[in-house]
Structure 1
Amino acid sequence: MSKPTYLFDRDVEWNALVTFAARTTPAATLGIVSGRRRMGKTYLLRALAEQRGGFYFGATTATGTESLRQFGAALGEFTGAGAPIAFDNWDHAITYLFALGGREQSPLLVVLDEFPYLVKSVPELPSLVQREIDRYQTEPSGIRLLLCGSAMSVMGGLLAANAPLRGRAQLELLVQPFGYRAAAEFWDAAHDPALAARLHAIVGGTPAYRRQFLADDVPASAADLDDWLCRTVLSPLSPLFREARYLLAEEAEIRDTALYHSVLAAVAQGHNTRGGIAGYIGRKSVDISHPLAVLEDCHLISRELDVFRSGRSIYRITEPLISFYEAVMRPAWARLETGQAQQVWRRSTERFNAQVAGPHFEQMCRTFLLTGGVDQLGVDTDFGTVGCGVVTDQHQRSQIQIDAAVTEPGDGGRGPSISLLGEAKWGTTIGVKHLERLTRARTLLNERGWDTSACKVALFSGVGFSDALRREIADTPEVLLIGLEQLYAPLD
């Protein structure tokens, strides 16, 4: 089945769903499709159901009884019964659904979208599905059941250790935001890497923000970005204005939103260790374990290990719009609500560069290395780990932040090695001092047992490099200069 033309990108996801739906095994099969809201999951699944002639049911926020009535009406229309099918309870409905799959000559695709809504009103539903899945492992059934939802904590729990559906799924698909390259094309900004990078730091790769929220209102150029921002994200008349708040409110496991916003604000302002977050919000470290775990389960933050210090880690906000909200919008919320977007934005440029664009650019550079950049740069590595970390300089009583590193663990008597050390600066022209700092870090790591014999030094910049630096590295092939044009260059 060919992917519909109105679906941008998503080739991997489409092929996985088509393969699942076309399986010819006689047993019933189960797939889980998850991802935060606005990622286009419904577009994918509706298109798949239409092409396969499958049954699609989108649940709503309703009681179990009303949802059952809606399900019976949709199923009656699909089967051509001429009237809604009346079920006594969900037990009978799920039994009927699986039996329907056994009557078809070819596999029957069934999509239950917004499944967390159903689970909230009918908690026993996963157990009912599990019973029928197990039953139709021995009896023939062509049903191909896809359960889809946006509440990440609920969807993640469907296949948890003690969950009824544990071990029953043949597909677990996470629909993620577009990568920074695909997002640039989606927002018609691929021609201008500087515009694309700033835009991605604000709205990320969520497809619905352009098409559904803004009705294809995109910045015409880099010069138009400020005006575009004031009439969209920073305008109380725009749906994007409160979107960051709704992303938290929509998660079922989040109750005290004030606490979670404080945790996110701490991370956005650079307090990205457990101790730093706890100190910022005035709590003990042990008291924020649950909020951090919930935010991780919701895919709103991620925990990244320090590649140089075992047991150390930092937290990073994964949704750019939340970073932008916490750093720029939340401190000036009252002014923004009264329509002072231009004044707020003029005074927030420095904060945006330091707390939003800068960290986002660092993550972009690590993504570049992870998605083919290592090969493009000619880095000597078999299958290195891409990450970041801190190198302590005890002689100078300082710490050297490494924004991007490619490391390999030791094995077979061989010690750990480093293939690349990198520094990323968004709004600063990179000069000789930045190179000297990385060279110093390489020396320190070598003294501590790391193999740096093949280690290259990479300097990433959003604005450029000094002439002195270019003269310094003229005959130094192990020093690499990477600008926005190279980050956005098509992959080979």
Structure 2
Amino acid sequence: MFQQFVDRENELRLLGDTYKQNKSSLIIIYGRRRIGKTELIKQFIKDKPHIFFLADTRTDRDNIKEMQRAISLHIPNALFEKVEFTDWIELFREAGKLLKERVIIVIDEFPYLIESNKAIPSIFQKIWDSILSEKDVCLVLLGSSISMMEDYTLDYRAPLYGRRTAQLQLQPLKFEHLCQFLPSYPVEELVKVYGVTDGIPLYILNFEPGLNFEENIKENVFRVGKFLYQEAEILLKEELRGTARYFSILKAIAYGKQRFGEIANFTKLDKSIIAKYLDNLAIIRVIRKEYPVTQKKEVRNARYVFNDNYYNFWFRYVYPYKSLIEEGRADRLFDSIKKDFNSYLGFVFEKICSEFLWGREQELPFLFTKLGRWWHRDKEIDLVALNEETKEIAFFEVKWSDLELGEARRILAGLEEKAENVDWNNENRKEHFGLIGKRVEGKANLRGEGYLCYDLEDMQKKRNVH
């Protein structure tokens, strides 16, 4: 049986340590939708006195009424339950009088309160300063709108700025954790799953352990009405107005058009419109700008990439083929994308290899501080790790294929040649070279020659350790 709640030990430890301080505390937790914020906080509060309130898009007065009900479940009081509050401060002032023990107060989807009342950040500043900070209370504010949580709770101009005791931006699970959801899947199949779901817990849970990858795609992605079929469209329509142009831009990026000019040529949209739309997509964290890892100033030479694999997969294999899916022709669609999907997995594998290297930095010849892609004109290197202080640099080629020893040597020779084009501490740097593949024949020999060489077998060993 796969696990419903995986990893998050560090996050639970931070929350637990903050709670154990036995003083008033304000915790901010945020991250993209479906990342597991609510499940994390439920695990944290399950054995502790708590008040849990889920905000929604209704009016300010309706949310006050629901908050009152949530408080009443924890501290039953006939008089408190009968009062008709119309003001947040008055509600918490009266509730504060009734709190006799340490309690965690959770407000989930805090940005919804702000959408219905722009004064909410200032109101909660007053609630915290004059009421809750003087009580034995742990207030937790959660939100899925990353930009709103940063702007209204963490930014130095925000009314709540400087009051938080702890903050968490919840990240997707790492590739190594997928095996805990799908323990019977071989590591190569998990790479394919990761290419669809990324490390988003709710998306992974939509893959049934009793079905293989192909069956899961046909049954749970390429099927009308299924969660993963419609999720991307629903989320983006909640965040954006008029999605047609946005979808055209995202399709271009999914098809590998990552430079601004390439996106403009693909979409045929006005460049000023594209710039504005790319900024908006970056604000809601669907995409991000990426620069060569050795570039010190982020002023030009940008590429636009997806923040997670789900959106990338959806705009590459679902959105362009919705007609086929609506006609119930999942078998034909899967067969038609097989070859391209294997190419797509090359990009997915790069992300997995990046995670893998960060997890092994203590075992590498030097402790790197930056890791990312490098490109210049027509030359590219998949991953480059570097340390500005020690002037050490490692170049990696990543290949989603089985490599014989001779082919691996040719790739490494080509990598050494390309590295000569990397303008970074050229006079006094120490270089290392590596190769990561699906399977690398003779990797022990290559390691003996000083190369950093890994494949899925090494990732499998790490999986077994976990």
Whether these two folds match at TM > 0.5 is yes
Structure 1 residue 403, shift from structure 2 partner: 0.7
How far, CA to CA, are the matches of 1:474 and 1:7 in structure 2?
39
- 2:387 maps to what in 1? 408
How far, CA to CA, are the matches of 1:119 and 1:287 in structure 2?
28
Aligned CA distance change for structure 1 residues 85 and 72 (closer, same or farther; 3 Å): farther
- 2:397 maps to what in 1? 423
Aligned mate of 1:218, from 200, 209, 229? 209
State yes or no: 1:166 paired with 2:161: yes
Structure 1 residue 460, shift from structure 2 partner: 1.4
How far, CA to CA, are the matches of 2:53 and 2:250 in structure 1?
35
- 2:118 maps to what in 1? 123
Aligned CA distance change for structure 1 residues 184 and 174 (closer, same or farther; 3 Å): same
Structure 1 residue 452, shift from structure 2 partner: 4.3
How far, CA to CA, are the matches of 2:423 and 2:129 in structure 1?
56
- 1:8 maps to what in 2? 6
Contact 2:32/2:145 (<8 A) preserved: yes
Structure 1 residue 367, shift from structure 2 partner: 1.5
Structure 1 residue 351, shift from structure 2 partner: 2.1
Q: How does 1:44-443 map to 2 (within 5 A)?
A: 44-82=40-78, 83=81, 85-97=83-95, 99-100=96-97, 103-105=99-101, 107-135=102-130, 140-158=134-152, 159-189=154-184, 192-211=186-205, 214=206, 217-218=208-209, 220=211, 224-251=212-239, 254-283=240-269, 285-310=271-296, 311=298, 312-354=301-343, 356-372=344-360, 374-376=361-363, 378-381=364-367, 383-391=368-376, 399-409=378-388, 417-427=391-401, 429=403, 431-443=408-420
Counterpart secondary structure, 1:332: helix
Contact 2:397/2:436 (<8 A) preserved: yes
Aligned CA distance change for structure 1 residues 427 and 71 (closer, same or farther; 3 Å): same
- Write the letter of the residue equivalent to 2:196: I
How far, CA to CA, are the matches of 1:387 and 1:316 in structure 2?
13
How far, CA to CA, are the matches of 1:208 and 1:117 in structure 2?
21
Structure 1 residue 422, shift from structure 2 partner: 0.5
State yes or no: 1:490 paired with 2:435: no
Post-superposition CA distance 1:414-446 (Å, at most 9, x none): xx8343101112146454432222010233448
Aligned CA distance change for structure 1 residues 184 and 318 (closer, same or farther; 3 Å): farther
How far, CA to CA, are the matches of 2:383 and 2:241 in structure 1?
36
Aligned CA distance change for structure 1 residues 44 and 447 (closer, same or farther; 3 Å): closer
- 2:17 maps to what in 1? 19
- Write the letter of the residue equivalent to 1:379: P
TM-score calculated relative to the size of structure 2:
0.88
Contact 2:51/2:74 (<8 A) preserved: yes
Greater shift in the superposed pair: 285-294 or 55-64:
285-294
How far, CA to CA, are the matches of 2:168 and 2:217 in structure 1?
33
Post-superposition CA distance 1:167-187 (Å, at most 9, x none): 222221112221000122222
Counterpart secondary structure, 1:52: coil
How far, CA to CA, are the matches of 2:6 and 2:421 in structure 1?
46
Higher relative contact order (CA 8 A, sep 6+): 2
Structure 1 residue 359, shift from structure 2 partner: 0.9
- Write the letter of the residue equivalent to 2:195: A
Contact 2:447/2:453 (<8 A) preserved: no
Q: How does 1:24-43 map to 2 (within 5 A)?
A: 24-25=22-23, 28-43=24-39
Aligned CA distance change for structure 1 residues 276 and 170 (closer, same or farther; 3 Å): farther
Unaligned residue ranges in structure 2 (runs of 5+) = none
- 2:436 maps to what in 1? 460
Structure 1 residue 88, shift from structure 2 partner: 2.6
Counterpart secondary structure, 1:217: coil
Contact 2:111/2:143 (<8 A) preserved: yes
Counterpart secondary structure, 1:439: helix
Contact 2:391/2:425 (<8 A) preserved: no
Would you identify which runs of 4 or more consecutive aligned residues in structure 1 move more than 4 Å?
473-476
How far, CA to CA, are the matches of 2:21 and 2:156 in structure 1?
26
Contact 1:94/1:129 (<8 A) preserved: no
How far, CA to CA, are the matches of 1:264 and 1:194 in structure 2?
27
How far, CA to CA, are the matches of 2:125 and 2:103 in structure 1?
18
Structure 1 residue 361, shift from structure 2 partner: 0.8
Task: State the Cα RMSD in Å.
Answer: 2.7
Structure 1 residue 219, shift from structure 2 partner: 5.2
Structure 1 residue 225, shift from structure 2 partner: 1.6
Contact 1:46/1:56 (<8 A) preserved: no
Contact 1:62/1:121 (<8 A) preserved: yes
How far, CA to CA, are the matches of 1:225 and 1:278 in structure 2?
35
Counterpart secondary structure, 2:47: helix
Q: How does 1:474-489 map to 2 (within 5 A)?
A: 477-489=449-461
Post-superposition CA distance 1:211-265 (Å, at most 9, x none): 4xx3x62255xxx3212210111111422111121232233xx223223222322
